[in-house]
A and B are shown apart, each in its own frame.
Chain A
Amino acid sequence: VRRLILAIAALVLVVPLVIESGPALLFTTRLALSLRGKTWEERRQVAFGGYYRDVVALNRTLPAGASVALIPRRPEDRDVAMFSVYHFYPRPARVYFSVDEWHKAPEHPRYVVFVDHSKLEVGQP
């Protein structure tokens, strides 16, 4: 009886987790297989979406080492602004949640980049 209880406990423990994680692991596998044969830049564009392509393009066109201010267009674009800091690195980049915050900052970067999920644009605040 004790062995049966332990066997049931093992099934109760493991089976639901396999059922819940299975689809996500399948998705991860499919994504990984679909990325084979692509360059890493292409893979990043697939994984991150439109904004990443713009980060790469802006990094090429802006003067080397110039700091950028990243201002999300809407509150839901804040995450993309944060990720862009990473992709801009080592170019200095800071996130300002509004044009007003950028204005008030004592030493704000000269180049302002407006951010949303699909694109990044250099703009005049």
Chain B
Amino acid sequence: VIEWLAVAFLYAVGSIGLLGQIAGALGIPLTLPTYGVLLLAALVVVSFEKVPKREPQTPIAWAATMLTLLPIAVLILNTVTTPLSDYDGRVTWMLKAKAIAREHSITGPFFKGQTSRNAHSQYPLLMPVAAAGIFEVTGSDDDRVVRPLYSLIAIAFLIVLRAAMQRVAGVSAAAVITAAVAWLPQFAADNDGGMTSGYSDLPMIAFVSLALLTVSRESEVGSRAGDSRLTAHDLRLSWRFGLQLAFVACVKNEGVVLAIALFFLARFLWKSLLPVAITLAALAFWRAHIPLEYDENYPQLLRHLGAKVSNYPEAASALLSRMLVFRVWGAFWILAAIGALIERKRLAVASVFVLFVYITTYAVTNWTIAELAVSSAHRLLLHLVPFAAMLMAVSVRYARSR
């Protein structure tokens, strides 16, 4: 039931945020009645999700679960007592949510740059739209009413990631790797992008984990992608997976890269890409009306990639060297790398692809690479944690099967 609740919660948040972003792009006011309709649509999506069969737990799994509950307890305590105090949560994401709740629009004066500073003006708005829904319902603009949303997403992330790994490596290994993820300093202890923050990085990897759960549940469908005798179940699955990819692509800019990696990994039908295409088209339409402010113009930067190829060694070093910072990651990436060497299949390739794209963004940036890495490298590596955890799970399965 806990797995179902976590999956249903992520579906609900994702659907409200995604459909709200599309509605907002089309000029539909994001008022309380609109949120009512979005909630109904989210409930329809959730209704397709079946309660999975409960797996018996082992003593190791119980011990690991207890260990995982410690940071979760601290998170809950922090949520109910401590004001939101991170950087981007206040400067970027929550300010957008407040503006949406106040203006009932994602094309209003705030987003047109006519009132307050709108950092990263063209960032996707899945999370701010979902958070604005809570501001609307509660009638408050105090961020403490929205903190539980982010905390529940962090908890749902751990549950869903564990469920995905459990199908690959069994309950004990999944529980132990989940405990490790829950105690990662970048997740548990970093106020900027970690579990206590209002950043969109954690929601993004929660949606990535949801897609990985679908991949691990339905891996046999991928191998039949070229088969013309696909069942209705396969088609429904493609739509569901496509919706999950759309959540990933619409929560942060980097989500597009992760969605490509997930699609490559799953080998599901091309129909999966339809929700992503609709979402990205709506996002592009909205962006055409919003002036680009306080942000990097990556399409333009990528045009000068040829001139910046020489930056790759520095960019790669800036990102990859962070993986070996023991006080932030312990042996996490070393074990993930061993997992990648053992797997040597699509999961490893997808992870390397994401890493390469992130290195490319460092190579083309107008910032000083070292300066950018200080403020973003560990947070970007957090995006790869679900892939790395799955690589570890696969390697455990391999070790058992030999």
User: Is B81 a contact partner of A35 (Cβ separation < 8 A)?
Assistant: yes
Task: Report chain B residues within 8 Å CB of A31.
Answer: 78, 82
Bin chain A's interface residue count: 35 or more
Is B85 part of the binding interface, using a Cβ–Cβ cutoff of 8 Å? yes
Residues of A near B323 (CB, < 8 A) are none
CB-defined contacts of A35 to chain B, threshold 8 Å: 81-82
Give 3 nearest A-B pairs by CB, closest first. Answer: A24-B189, A16-B330, A17-B183
Inter-chain contact B189/A93, CB cutoff 8 Å: no
Interchain residue pairs with CB less than 8 A apart (29): A5-B399, A6-B399, A10-B176, A13-B177, A13-B330, A13-B392, A14-B67, A16-B326, A16-B331, A17-B185, A20-B330, A25-B70, A25-B71, A28-B78, A28-B189, A31-B78, A32-B77, A32-B78, A36-B81, A40-B142, A43-B82, A47-B83, A48-B83, A82-B119, A83-B90, A86-B91, A89-B99, A91-B116, A94-B116
Whether A105 is near chain B, meaning CB under 8 Å from some CB there, is: no
B-contact bits for A76-114, CB 8 A (1 contact / 0 none): 000100110111111111110000000000000000000
B67 touches A85 (CB 8 A): no
Distance from B85 Cβ to chain A, minimum over Cβ atoms (Å)? 5
Q: Is A2 an interface residue (CB 8 A)?
A: yes
Report whether B335 and A88 are in contact in the complex, using a CB–CB cutoff of 8 Å.
no
- Given the complex, which residues of A lie within 8 Å of B119, measured CB to CB? 82
User: Are the C-beta atoms of A44 and B83 separated by less than 8 Å?
Assistant: yes
B180 and A13: CB pair below 8 A?
A: yes
Q: How far is the CA of A14 from the CA of B328 in the complex (A)?
A: 12
Taking CB atoms, residues of chain A closer than 8 Å to B99 are: 89
Closest-CB distance, A109 to chain B (whole angstroms): 10
Bound form: Cα–Cα A88–B117 in Å: 11
B176 x A43 contact (CB < 8 A): no
Asked if A124 is at the interface (CB within 8 A of a chain B CB), the reply is no
Tell whether, in the assembled complex, residue A21 and residue B188 are in contact, meaning their CB atoms are under 8 Å apart. Answer: yes
Are the C-beta atoms of A40 and B144 separated by less than 8 Å?
yes
Task: Mark interface residues in B133-165 (1 if CB within 8 Å of A CB, else 0).
Answer: 000000001101000000000000000000000
Contact of B98 among A16, A48, A89, A92 (CB under 8 A): A89
Closest residue of chain B to A24 (Cβ to Cβ) is: B189
Of B83, B116, B188, B189, which is within 8 A of A43 by CB?
B83
Is B87 an interface position by the 8 A CB rule? yes
What are the interface flags for B373-402 relative to A under an 8 Å C-beta threshold, 1 for contact and 0 otherwise? Answer: 000000000000000000010001001101
Interface check B115, CB cutoff 8 A: yes
The answer to the question of B179 belonging to the interface, with a C-beta cut-off of 8 Å to chain A, is yes
Q: Which residues of B are found within 8 Å of A64, using beta-carbon distances? A: none
B254 to A: closest C-beta gap in Å: 22
Q: Is the CB of B196 within 8 A of A28?
A: yes
